[in-house]
Structure 1
Amino acid sequence: MGARDEWDVLFKRDDLTVSEIRKASREPLKPGEVRLAVERFGLTANNATYARFGDDSVIAFWRAFPGPQGYGRVPIWGFARVEESSHPDIAEGSRYFGYMPMSTHHVVAAEPMARGFIDTTAQRDFLHPWYRTYELVGEPEPLDDRWALLHPVYPAAFNLADFLERQAALGARSVLITSASSKVAIGLVEEMAARQIPLQTVGLTADRHTAFVQSLDLYDTVAPYGALPSLTVAEPTVFVDLTGDPSRRIAVCERFKSELCQTVLVGFTHSTATVLPPPGLAGPEPQVFFTPAIEMETIAEEGADSYYTRYAKSERRFVEYTQSWLDVRGGRGPEAIIDSFRSLLAGEQPPDASRVLRP
């Protein structure tokens, strides 16, 4: 397709190996709407989660950006510029970061708010406001590809660090983290080190990722999943699961049922993940850590200015730190987007490399 064509990348909802590129129609804007031209976006495990759980009764991500019968547009996070505006308070040419489909363009009904605007389109009312908020950002800077990848996932790491800081104050002595090679996990332990949170960090990861995680020199202990039966931890310990895999959750909780003081379910990095926790997990009652809600609660308690100041300082440090280990690879056009997403779904993306795509 030509550079000026407008298109959507579509994936078959019940078979993600099937995809299409379809020309998109341009409808006139209604009052209050803005048309965003997608600039760039990152691909992480989050995007695979959105597609795999797209029809789940709890999450239903396919509803956000519907496509033709049987198809959907995978949600992504990235930078976009206002190409056309029918809202008097949102200027054409202004630049935002937010939640969009795999498309060249995205139209939203915008309502200005502090730090940007919120999408009030009825189709997306079911989404938490966190997903409907577009942050006003400046002009491109050299680290923007890394921001595109990390800005959607770092809030989980930062808010988990707040949680673990409180657990350390209550007497916890260690934290056991699955999917230790994931960006959320790495961001978490890096933030813990920066804050000097007095918890021993134990990372569990796949055999093929063990050497990489060890090379980061962030965790006190790194072990493959197969070493779980012989692994020891300093108790009381907090279990932070990022895999979403029922068998992993059951195995860890059973192994350390006497040592655990908290079980926190956060992510879905594994293709075998399920939305709801498996019933009857040993140890403490698991809590689902839904980052958007946790972050909003923290802002309400602490105040927006204080929270965002803390957050921005930590996130910038982490983004800069990733230059030492994360290889950001580019791509342009719908074919590159499809190929990159298929590679992500197949588990072919190594933990030290990620893709940032441009339409």
Structure 2
Amino acid sequence: MPLPNTCRLLTRKTALEDMRVEEQPPPAPPAEGEALLAPELFSLTTNNVTYAAYGEAMRYWDFFPSGDEDWGLVPVWGFATVIGSRVEGVEVGERFYGYWPPATVLRVQPDKIGAHGFRDATAHRQALPAVYNQYFRCTQDPLYTPETEAFQALYRPLYMTAFTLADFIADHEGFGAQRVVLSSASSKTAYGTAFCIGNAFETVGLTSQRNAEFVAGSGCYHRTVTYDALRDLAPDTPTLYVDLSGNRDLRAEVHGHFQALRYSCVVGSAQTTELPGQQDLPGPPPTFFFAPDQIAKRMAEWGAEAFGQRLGSAWARFHAHVSDPQHDLLQVKTGEGLEAARAIFAQLLAGEVAPREGHVIQL
């Protein structure tokens, strides 16, 4: 059966608000050792804004080369179905969770195929972090249930960052801090991190006046503080700052106010698409957190099975928390097609998506 025409969503690397949907001819059938997968459901969150903002510095543009150095494909997380395969162990019709381009097809070279999935051995991806090259077979994935695909697409990549960030903080005994302050506290990664930290430290959600009620009602933080009330927090309490906003002015205010700042952790860019850059700041230098490094460390220390068990147990607790109606944390919004994806990404760039909204795209 001939394969259908394809399309993809391109983003101008130097002007992220400039996006276009490009149609392409049908892909060539898979060669020996190749498989074709069709992404069908993926999420769009501020995490994708971070991928675009740090696309050059962190090599996110390199996962799915567009063939045009001025335009890139912002990676997304979600589900795809095999539409062609010449690889034993990867069958047409199977469904996989993983890291995809915003496009209707991806060509892969499955390697290390096992019951739980495969690794893409395509040459250009081998120098990139291995965690992004893993594809999980839904029928064998302990985190998968068919009825929660939207929830998984939205939270799973963010929760992996949240889980490993909380573990990183615990691994270093909070760098001597007693309090963890998280900016952009209404973001899914922020409140997921606070949930994982639990009562190990006091967690403070730093947010806008508009989102303060949402953050306070999330059940994830010990305290909610608006940006204009930052200076109400005691400056001499040993503090760890988790920067999910990327806001340079806010970072400077945090460093200037907290005399006992123990660590400054840059995680995302929910409020900006500018790279962190150098700032002459008092206290510890802002340090970028890269989740794959902590994952690799724990995989080596705990082993893959133990890591998976800990993650799965924590994921189940988080799913129950988010699903609890008393917290009202999630309203899933489904868009159809890549034009809808373009519109949602533009809203994310402009900061116009309400924190309760979780946007998924169905292709």
Fold conserved between structures, TM > 0.5: yes
Aligned residues: 350
* SS, match of residue 147 in structure 2: coil
Aligned equivalent of 1:74: 74
Q: Does 1:332 align with 2:336?
A: yes
Counterpart in 1 of 2:137?
Answer: 136
Q: Distance in 2 between matches of 1:347 and 1:111?
A: 39
TM-score normalized with structure 2 length: 0.89
Does the 8 Å CA contact 1:34/1:85 hold for their aligned counterparts? yes
Question: Is the contact made by 2:174 and 2:240 (CA closer than 8 Å) also made in structure 1?
Answer: no
Counterpart of 1:175, as a letter, is V
SS in 1 for 2:347: helix
Which residue of structure 2 aligns with residue 60 of structure 1? 59
Residues 109-124 of structure 1: matches in 2 within 5 Å? 109-113=109-113, 115-124=116-125
Give the Å deviation of 1:113.
4.6
Q: Show the 5 A alignment for 1:93-112.
A: 93-112=93-112
| Residue in 2 that maps onto 1:156 | 161
- Report the counterpart of residue 170 of structure 2 in structure 1: 165
Q: Report whether the alignment pairs 1:225 with 2:230.
A: no
Q: Which residue of 1 aligns with 2:358?
A: 354
Q: Which moved more, 1:165-174 or 1:236-245?
A: 165-174
- For residue 10 of structure 2, what is the aligned residue in structure 1? 10
Identity in percent:
34
Q: Is the 8 A contact 1:150 1:319 kept in 2?
A: no
- 1:184 positional shift: 1.2
| CA pair 176-24 structure 1, distance change in 2 beyond 3 A | same
Q: What is the 5 A alignment of 1:241-260?
A: 241-256=243-258, 258-260=259-261
Q: Which amino acid aligns with 1:283?
A: G
Query: What residue number does 2:150 align with?
Result: 145
CA displacement at 1:76 relative to structure 2: 0.7
TM-score normalized by the length of structure 1: 0.90
After superposition, give the CA deviation of every residue in 1:56-78 in whole Å (9 maximum; x if it has no partner).
2x223223223353332221111
Deviations 1:230-268, CA, capped at 9 Å, x for gaps = 322672222211122222222111211x31222222222
CA distance in 2, matches of 1:170, 1:247: 24
Deviations 1:95-116 (A, max 9, x none): 2111111111111111125532
Runs of 4+ deviating beyond 6 Å: none
Instruction: Check whether the contact 1:246–1:274 (CA below 8 A) recurs between aligned residues.
Output: no
8 Å contact 1:336–1:357 — kept in the other structure? yes
**Secondary structure in 2 aligned to 1:339?**
helix
CA distance in 1, matches of 2:174, 2:128: 34
* C-alpha distance in 1 between matches for 2:167 and 2:344: 34
User: Which of 216, 220, 240 in structure 2 is aligned with 1:238?
Assistant: 240
String of CA shifts for 1:25-68, please: whole Å, max 9, x gaps.
311212211101112001111111222333x2x22322322335
Shift of 1:167: 4.8
Deviation at 1:271, TM superposition (A): 1.5
Q: Return the alpha-carbon distance in structure 2 between the equivalents of residues 303 and 317 of structure 1.
A: 22
* Distance (Å, rounded) in 1 between the aligned partners of 2:338 and 2:36: 19
Give the conservation status (yes or no) of the 8 Å contact 1:174–1:233: no
Q: RMSD of the TM alignment (CA)? A: 2.2
Shift of the 103–200 alpha-carbon distance from structure 1 to 2, 3 Å rule, reads same
What SS does the corresponding residue of 1:142 show, helix, strand or coil? helix
Q: Is contact 1:245–1:274 with CA below 8 Å preserved after alignment?
A: no
Q: Are the equivalent residues in 2 in contact too, given 1:89–1:112 (CA < 8 A)?
A: no
Tell me the distance in 2 between the aligned counterparts of 1:312 and 1:120: 26
